[in-house]
Chains A and B, each alone.
Chain A
Amino acid sequence: MSFLIDNFVELTVTGLVLGAVYGLVALGYTLVYGVLQLINFAHSEVWMFGSFAAVWVTVALGVAPGSALPVVIGVLLLALLAAMTVSGGVALLLERVAYRRLIRLDAPKLVALISAIGASFALAEIMGLRDRVAGWFGLRDTLDPYVRSARDNTRFQNPLETEGVFTVGGYTVSNVDIIIIVSAILMMVALDQFIRRTRTGRGIRAVAQDSEAAALMGVNRNRIIRATFLVGGIMAGAAALLYLMRFGVTRWNAGFLLGVKAFTAAVLGGIGNVRGALLGGFILGLAENYGSALIGSEWRDVVAFLLLVVILLFRPTGLLGESLGRARA
């Protein structure tokens, strides 16, 4: 207990950092669920592909840590762009290959769920076998820095050096901590505004509320579904870069655990609710850290999921509990 109190600030900040990543990934689950009532279990792989895109950009550019600030910012922006593009692209591909036909045929939700799980495995394994995929095209040696040790951790050479900015309660908050928490909140606000104010956002809300009525009102349902996947993918791409800046490593199956946590965050905040996703992410990140500090790291998931169960017992629809359609219509 005294350990928790003595290190409260540090545990809080690192918990929020982790929670911010959970929250951004959770958006993908929440958006798709809000529109289609479908849990896109392959979303974790969308995130994973984005993380590799960011890593490959830094490998290709080969920037050493400690470069001049404009270079650092440029590389990070490029990596962000690459991660968002790849994640968005994979999300669109998923929609096209794994869901569109099922949605059009109005297949049972369980069928789409299985399709999602299948797509998740396929995408993860493709990344895990990328050295051999490259080998088929005779590119194994050319692409070596990108595909070697495909089953192992791949390091992200962060061009930005972690530096302490200010000290609170015995913990020096670093520039990376600040960047992650602030960008997650900014992106959440931007997304919230996008859904509230733009034409596409209104379409998303309309389809979420009643897709048939929306179609009758002239909303192109397929276009809206695509846009939803794309936005979720872009958020996952941003989350991938932020994650790498803090944790520095990705691997072919890194998406699985993160996906489970992000999905939990989405449910915790109220699945289908955009603001709930970030709130759920923060709470989950904090709960994991406090739980680890109280009883030991092996209990972190026990504490986090116990919290989820307790919250759902009292608020079965999650903390903010509204659906995407009803939220601020």
Chain B
Amino acid sequence: MRFSVKTGAPLLAMALALTACGTSGGDDEEASGGGGEAGTCEDVSLGYFGALTGSAANLGINIRNGVELAVDQFNEENADCQVGLEEYDSQGSPDQATGLATQAIGDETVIGIVGPAFSGESETAGPIFAEEGLPTITASATNPTLAENGWDTFQRILGNDASQGPAAASYISDVLQSQSVFVVDDASAYGKGLADIVNEELGDVVVGDDTIQTGQTDFSATVTAIRSSNAEAVFFGGYYAEAGLLVQQMRAGGVEATFVVADGVKDPGFIEAAGDAAEGTIITCPCLPPEESQEFFDAYQEAYDTAPATYSAEAYDAANVFLEGILEGNTDRESLLEWVNDYEGEQTTKTVKFDETGEVENISVWAYKVVNGEIVADQEIETD
């Protein structure tokens, strides 16, 4: 890493980065420091931006592996165009994101970023990338408002929460055919947003709602409310930590309603916490089941000795969008950004084309189900 940036001095770092960019524009020789493999694309790197350590490291590692696999495959096929991969470990924290984004900007070999992985860090890092014109494609940050900031550099290769909510609602009404639904949220931007959409979509079918707090461990009052409502299904908008506790206490309290949750719960940590109580839980996710694309699945399995997990395939696609551009000769940020904005092509998860705000046009939401302690694909959810 070239710049060691303390978060305390982001302004100074920004200034340095600006100078660096300004003086070295179009001067490839000066930029080539490491003296790696020389080819037609000299010293070009992609960046991965997201958690690799910290509490949400698992999700980040899935994404990084997807990117790394794409880069490795690309380098193998294109001996004369070797692309590097820089990792920016944000630990999932918005506080770290500013410094890391500045660091990424300062390294002018980095011309495209897969990430930032989470919505919170996207909010703080996004403006920095936008200002410097460093194109980003996130494979996991699903807060809808991210696309509304007018950042030209922001692209999202999967459906946002606004598409997931209606999908969860339609699964509850069409597939489960529940006549009564209880909606719980965790008061977070993500969870409450989702729960509100589900509430609205389901309308009269909702027989009750409640709000819990992140970090809460006792849900007895909520469980009582759910049971006395006799709901056939419970939708929870929130993350896996609370979801695991809630479903465990629901089952212990004798509630048998189907538990429906969204992508924030699609993590082995949910099953770890809930144990047998997790069985039968429905998890919606705007992510393609990795086994839908056998070729990718096998390659990933071979490289990492484990099956691809949530958003690995999306990350792989995001990296490939960049890599195709690099192969076409777009080896600086400006032209690569243009390439991404105009991109239209087939990838493993979907046909990728970004609209003006950076949202991908072709969205699919899948329902997953917990069966024998594993999260397995159930079906693609039809929405209108």
Contact = CB atoms under 8 A, between A and B. Distances in A.
Interface of A: 3, 6-7, 10-11, 14-15, 17-18, 128, 149, 151-155, 157, 162, 172, 174, 247-249, 251, 253-254, 256-258, 288-289, 292-293, 296-298, 300-301
Contact of B221 (A149, A162, A300): A300
B211 A298 contact: yes
B291 interface: no
A3 B273 contact: no
A289 B221 contact: yes
Interface stretch (B105-113, B246-254, B348-356): B246-254
B221 A298 contact: no
Contacts of A157: 275
Contacts of A155: 272-275
B245 interface: yes
A247 B275 contact: no
A152 B268 CA distance: 10
A247 B252 CA distance: 9
Contacts of A3: 225, 228
A7 B241 contact: no
Nearest to B213: A298
20 contacts: A3-B228, A6-B228, A7-B228, A14-B223, A14-B224, A15-B220, A18-B220, A151-B55, A151-B57, A155-B275, A247-B218, A247-B245, A256-B215, A258-B217, A289-B220, A292-B222, A296-B210, A297-B210, A297-B212, A298-B187
Interface in B219-270: 219-225, 228, 241, 244-245, 248-249, 252, 254, 268-269
Contact of A152 (B55, B216, B222, B275): B55
B54 interface: yes
Nearest to B222: A297
A128 B57 CA distance: 13
A157 B248 CA distance: 12
Nearest to A150: B55
A300 B222 CA distance: 11
A248 B248 contact: yes
A246 to B, nearest CB: 8
B54 A254 contact: no
- Chain A at the B interface: SS class: helix
Contacts of B244: 153, 249
B317 to A, nearest CB: 27
Contacts of A6: 228
Nearest to A162: B252
Contacts of B241: 152-153, 251
Interface of B: 54-55, 57-58, 187, 210-213, 215-225, 228, 241, 244-245, 248-249, 252, 254, 268-269, 272-275
A11 B221 contact: yes
Contacts of A298: 187, 210-213
Nearest to A132: B53
Given A248-B248, A248-B252, A249-B244, 20 more contacts: A3-B225, A10-B220, A11-B221, A14-B220, A149-B58, A151-B57, A152-B241, A152-B269, A153-B273, A154-B272, A155-B273, A172-B254, A248-B245, A251-B241, A257-B217, A293-B224, A298-B211, A298-B213, A300-B221, A301-B213
Given A154-B272, A157-B275, A248-B248, A297 B221 contact: yes
B217 A249 contact: yes
B220 A149 contact: no
Contacts of B212: 297-298
A130 to B, nearest CB: 13
B216 to A, nearest CB: 7
Contacts of B274: 155
B166 to A, nearest CB: 25
Contacts of B216: 257
B221 A254 contact: no
A254 B254 CA distance: 25
Contacts of B213: 297-298, 301
Contacts of B218: 14, 18, 247, 288
Nearest to B184: A297
A273 to B, nearest CB: 25
Given A149-B272, A293-B225, A247 B210 contact: no
B245 A292 contact: no
A10 to B, nearest CB: 5
A128 B116 CA distance: 24
B206 to A, nearest CB: 15
Contacts of A149: 58, 268-269, 272
Contacts of A292: 221-222
A-B pairs, 5 with minimum CB distance: A292-B221, A14-B220, A153-B273, A151-B55, A298-B211
A18 B220 CA distance: 9
Contacts of B219: 297
A249 B228 contact: no
A251 B274 CA distance: 13
Nearest to A251: B241
Nearest to B248: A248
Contacts of A128: 55
Contacts of B272: 149, 152-155
Nearest to B271: A155
A251 B240 CA distance: 13
B224 to A, nearest CB: 5
B217 A247 contact: yes
Contacts of B58: 149
Contacts of B55: 128, 151-152
Contacts of B221: 11, 14, 288-289, 292-293, 297, 300
A162 B252 CA distance: 7
B248 A249 contact: yes
A301 B269 CA distance: 27
Contacts of B223: 14
Contacts of A17: 220
Contacts of B248: 248-249
Given A153-B244, A157-B275, A296 B269 contact: no
A14 B219 CA distance: 10
Contacts of A257: 215-217
B211 A151 contact: no
A109 to B, nearest CB: 29
A292 to B, nearest CB: 3
A14 B222 CA distance: 11
A16 to B, nearest CB: 10
